[in-house]
Chains A and B, each alone.
Chain A
Amino acid sequence: MDEIREQAQEVFHDVFGDTDLVLRDDMTADDVDGWDSTAHINLIVALEKHFGVKFAMAEISRMKDEDQNVGGLLQLIAKKLGRSG
Chain B
Amino acid sequence: MSVTSVEFIFLLLVCGAFFFQLPGRRSRLAAFSVANALVLALLIPNLASLAALSVFLLSGYGVAMLLARRPSSLLLTGYLAALVATFLVLKRYEFIGLVLPMSLIQHPIDIIGLSYMLFRQIHFLVDAMQGQIEGGTLPAYLNYQLNLFGILSGPIQRFQDFHEFWQTPQPLLKDRHELLKAILRINLGVLKLAAIGAMCFYAYDVSSSTLEQVARGFIVEMPMSRKLIYFAIMFYALPAHMYFNFSGYCDIVIGGALLLGIRMPENFDQPYLARNMIDYWNRFHRSLSHWIRDYIFMPLYKSAVERTPTLAEPLSILFMFVALFLAGVWHGSTLNWVAFGMLNGIGVATAKLWELLIVRARGRQGLKTYMKSSGVRLAAIAVNLNFACLTYLFFPTDMARTFRILNAMVGGSWPS
Contact = CB atoms under 8 A, between A and B. Distances in A.
Contacts of B62: none
B217 interface: no
A38 B294 contact: no
Contacts of B293: 37, 61, 64
Given A38-B316, A41-B298, A57 B367 contact: no
Given A57-B295, A58-B132, A41 B305 contact: yes
B301 to A, nearest CB: 5
B131 interface: yes
Interface residues of A, number: 20
Given A57-B126, A58-B132, A17 B301 contact: no
A58 B305 contact: no
B127 interface: yes
B298 A60 contact: yes
Given A57-B127, A61-B293, A44 B316 contact: no
A18 interface: yes
B371 to A, nearest CB: 9
A14 interface: no
B298 A34 contact: no
Interface in B293-350: 293-295, 297-299, 301-302, 305-306, 312-313, 316
Nearest to B305: A45
B210 interface: no
Interface string A35-61: 011101110110000000000111111
Given A33-B364, A61-B290, A41 B130 contact: no
B368 interface: yes
B160 interface: yes
Nearest to A40: B298
B302 A34 contact: no
Contact of A37 (B130, B131, B298): B298
A61 B305 contact: no
A64 B265 CA distance: 14
Nearest to B300: A41
Contacts of B127: 56-58
B290 A41 contact: no
A42 B305 contact: yes
A34 B306 contact: no
A20 B367 CA distance: 18
Nearest to A33: B368
B310 to A, nearest CB: 13
Contacts of A38: 301, 313, 316, 352
A41 B304 CA distance: 10
Given A41-B301, A44-B302, A45-B306, A57 B294 contact: yes
Interface string B244-278: 00000000000000000000000000000000001
Nearest to B304: A41
9 contacts: A16-B364, A34-B367, A37-B297, A37-B301, A38-B352, A45-B302, A45-B306, A57-B294, A58-B130
Interface of A: 16-18, 33-34, 36-38, 40-42, 44-45, 56-61, 64
